[in-house]
Amino acid sequence: MNEEKICVDASRPATLNNGGSLDDWPSLQEAVVAWDRLPPEQRKHATIRVIGGPLFTAAEIELLHDRKGRS
């Protein structure tokens, strides 16, 4: 599987939608950490939206890469 990474600014605020609630996080990086802690079944249906930016599905979240060199 050779999928390209999605470069993002991980410092931007984001909202995690886990299907049951919306949780705001001060950074996309923190939202991804919270997403990663969800149970697998819940994680595959969850999304993250960068405030004022794009919406990422579970498949896309796995490909996020901080363009500043951190993933």
What is the number of domains present in the chain? Answer: 1
- Confirm whether 43 is domain-assigned: yes
List alpha helices for the chain, DSSP H.
28-36, 40-43, 58-61
pLDDT for 35: 96
Kindly report, residue by residue over 38-61, the tens digit of the pLDDT. Answer: 999 999 999 999 999 999 999 999
Token code pair at residue 17: 């939608």
Residue-range definition of the domain harbouring residue 48: 6-66
Distance CA 21, CA 32 (A): 15
Q: Which is more confident, 10 or 68?
A: 10
pLDDT for 19: 83
Kindly report, residue by residue over 17-37, the tens digit of the pLDDT. Answer: 998 899 999 999 999 999 999
- Confirm whether 23 is domain-assigned: yes
- Confirm whether 1 is domain-assigned: no
pTM, to two decimals: 0.86
- Confirm whether 22 is domain-assigned: yes
